[in-house]
Amino acid sequence: MTRYLRLLRVQLRTSLLLAMQYRFEFFLDGFMSVFWTASALVPLLVLFGSRTSVAGWTWPEALLVVAAFTTLKGVLDGAIQPSLGSVVEHVRKGTLDFILLKPVDAQFMVSTARFEPWRGSDAWLGLLLFGWAFHALGRGPSWGGVACATALLAAAVAILYSISILVISLAFFVVKVDNLIYLFVSVYDAARWPASIFRGVLAFLFTFVVPLAVMTTYPALALLGRLSSGRAAGALLGAAAFAWLARRVWMRSIGHYTSAGG
Amino acid sequence: MALAPPRGSPLARAGGVVFALTRVAFAAAVAYRSQFIVWILATNTPLVMLALWSSVSREAPFGQFGQRAFVAYFLVTLVVRLLTGTWVVWEMNAEIKDGTLSQRLLRPVHPFLAYAVDNLAAVPLRALVSLPVALVVVATVARSELTRDPVVWLAVPFAVLGAWLVSFAVMLAIGALGLFWESSIALWDLWFSFYFVFSGYLFPLAFFPSWLGRWVALSPFPYTLSFPVEATLGRVPRDALLSGLGAQWAYALGFLALALWLWRRGLVRYAAYGG
């Protein structure tokens, strides 16, 4: 275990050193995140400019969902995507050999290969949005709510990571999957809206196939004190099941890897 | 397959070149169809927005838009977006970075033309995908929501083509900027974030407060999407249609001129690094 912790520290340090070389990118990415976050708020502002509630959500409540979305987006962009994106490249070029040969778990190695702290600036913006939302609500969350929401956000990170692993695993079977990641990110975009606006097919899709509702709406509900403990437990269990599934699929897929030129 | 070198008058030669390029590009589009399908599936924002706004308008219309109007608006938006989507800035960026641009420069065709053919050759496939969406529109909301003015229908193809040309020319310009500046793709990100809000992709532009709407109407963004969409929905009167088309094509040609200028200046600096 300590071996892996040490390894993680080394990997983090390399990523950080790499990132320090691109200071300009930092400002650019930071600027762009502020911009994207602001532009994502525009439809909400337009909407709540003439309505007080939509599908049972008021403006500050919906803002909480956006905050959860933005925080997770930061984790996705800064920690999950950069690492796992490189796996696709490794599989295509056959350089995954070098990772598989190392005497440590390959999934751990590829998952920690690259962090891009600059791209994670959304995570901080998300926390700011949480603050703004509670300011607009005029009251703070309960301690229990915060604890529950934190657990749910951690579960959401696990789900995001697991889905990414599942997508990456496809790289062992299909050649072009880098745009599948792009597809997943575009689907994730729908998580910025409270889940109750979706009905029919989309509601089913976003609860069970890609559990967007669990990722952003549940933490917001927990902060508002409206999430039943049963549903919270269900979400945590679901995330654990997802992670287990991803691990199994990854192990299976690695078996399919045929090295260089494949 | 062997492609005979084009012979005859310059015009016939140019025609032959374009024809050959189109054939190749179409074959490539078909060959990479899975990638294409992923791109189609990733263009799901209009459907999400459709869900959002129809949930908003379920109890009462929002502005001038009832639920049916929103359905029509976002489905037509999806069709126009599918037809006019372009990715040339990514292609240019990658080619400049890894040096494969050199191969393109060796060919006796202006790269802009080759890029344009590349992009347009995918249109038949895109049309095929848009067809079911369009049929849904016709089957459900066409009667009450689409325009019935034949003059407008005559103008719609030009508005759609113009929308493509504006986005394409902007992409060319930003792509050409890649010859000067490594991070030029960030500029595209910036443009795209504006496009997201001001093109009518997320909501009809009429929802902006009037002081902002005035500025938005002057910008190029509505011409890349909202203009053809609103024309199809009969929300652009005839006289506004003509001036709109004029402004749209003026923007397109302006950006194209800018792109050409940047390209010519930039090529001097291009050194095919990587390779």
* Residue A11 counted as domain residue: yes
Reported confidence tier of residue A11, pLDDT bands at 50, 70, 90: confident
Which residues from B are below 8 Å from A when comparing CB atoms?
32, 34-35, 38-39, 41-45, 47-49, 51-52, 55-56, 62-63, 183, 186, 189-190, 193-194, 196-197, 202-203, 207-209
Alpha helix positions (H), B141-225: 142-145, 150-177, 185-198, 210-218, 221-224
For B77-126, the pLDDT digits (tens) are 999 999 998 888 988 988 888 888 888 888 888 889 889 988 888 888 88
Residue A246, token pair as written in the block: 């991803």
Contact B70, B57 (CB under 8 A): yes
* Residue A261 counted as domain residue: no
Q: Enumerate the residues of chain B whose CB falls inside 8 A of the CB of residue A49.
A: 209
* Residue B273 counted as domain residue: no
* Residue B275 counted as domain residue: no
Mutating which of A77, A197, A206 best tests the B interface, going by the most B Cβ atoms within 10 A? A197
C-alpha distance from A6 to closest chain B C-alpha (Å):
34
> Of B82, B193, B50, which is closest to residue A28 (Cα–Cα)?
B193
What percent of chain A is modeled with pLDDT above 90?
21
pLDDT at B275: 40
- When CB atoms are compared, the residue of A42, A182, A197 closest to B42 is A182
- When CB atoms are compared, the residue of B42, B55, B190 closest to A197 is B55
What is the domain range of residue A123?
A: 2-255
On the 0-12 / 13-18 / 19+ scale of CB atoms within 10 A, B173 is buried
* Residue A14 counted as domain residue: yes
C-alpha distance from A29 to closest chain B C-alpha (Å):
8
Which amino acid belongs to residue B195?
Y
Average pLDDT, chain B: 86
Say which range, A110-124, B80-94, B101-115, B149-163, has the weakest mean pLDDT: A110-124
Domain count, chain B: 1
Calculate the alpha carbon distances from A124 to A9, A69, A147 in Å.
22, 12, 18
C-alpha distance from B59 to closest chain A C-alpha (Å):
10
Query: What's the CA gap between B229 and B232, in Å, rounded?
Result: 5
Domain count, chain A: 1
Helical (H) or strand (E) element with A57: strand A57-58
pLDDT at B274: 47
pLDDT at A175: 63
* Residue A191 counted as domain residue: yes
For the ranges A81-85, A220-224, B100-104, B220-224, the one whose mean pLDDT is highest: B220-224
8 Å CB contact of B197 and A39: yes
Contact A48, A40 (CB under 8 A): no
Render A70-124 in DSSP notation, one character per residue: HHHHHHIIIIIHHHHHHHHHHHHHTTHHHHHTSSS-HHHHHHTS---GGGGHHHH
Reported confidence tier of residue A96, pLDDT bands at 50, 70, 90: confident
- When CB atoms are compared, the residue of A32, A39, A54 closest to B196 is A39
For B66-91, the pLDDT digits (tens) are 888 898 999 999 999 999 988 889 88
8 Å CB contact of B190 and A47: no
For A163-194, the pLDDT digits (tens) are 888 888 887 777 666 677 778 888 888 888 88
Q: Enumerate the residues of chain B whose CB falls inside 8 A of the CB of residue A176.
A: 32, 34-35
Mutating which of B193, B195, B203, B211 best tests the A interface, going by the most A Cβ atoms within 10 A? B193
For A191-209, the pLDDT digits (tens) are 888 888 887 777 888 877 7
Query: What's the CA gap between A253 and A247, in Å, rounded?
Result: 10
- When CB atoms are compared, the residue of B52, B196, B203 closest to A197 is B52
What is the domain range of residue B127?
A: 12-267
pLDDT at A176: 64
Reported confidence tier of residue A254, pLDDT bands at 50, 70, 90: confident
* Residue A260 counted as domain residue: no
Say which range, A94-108, B172-186, B216-230, has the weakest mean pLDDT: A94-108
Is the pLDDT reported for residue B1 higher than 50? no
* Residue B72 counted as domain residue: yes
Calculate the alpha carbon distances from B187 to A32, A37, A121 in Å.
10, 16, 18
pLDDT at A219: 92
Reported confidence tier of residue B219, pLDDT bands at 50, 70, 90: very high
Is the pLDDT reported for residue B204 higher than 90? yes
Bigger pLDDT: B17 or A156?
A: A156
pLDDT at B3: 55
8 Å CB contact of A183 and B52: no
Helical (H) or strand (E) element with A58: strand A57-58
For A21-46, the pLDDT digits (tens) are 777 777 777 788 888 888 888 888 88
Is the pLDDT reported for residue B38 higher than 90? no
Is the pLDDT reported for residue A160 higher than 70? yes
Is the pLDDT reported for residue B199 higher than 90? yes
> Of B257, B25, B40, which is closest to residue B120 (Cα–Cα)?
B25
- When CB atoms are compared, the residue of A43, A49, A179 closest to B202 is A43
8 Å CB contact of A43 and B63: no
Query: What's the CA gap between B150 and B165, in Å, rounded?
Result: 24
Average pLDDT over residues B170-197: 89
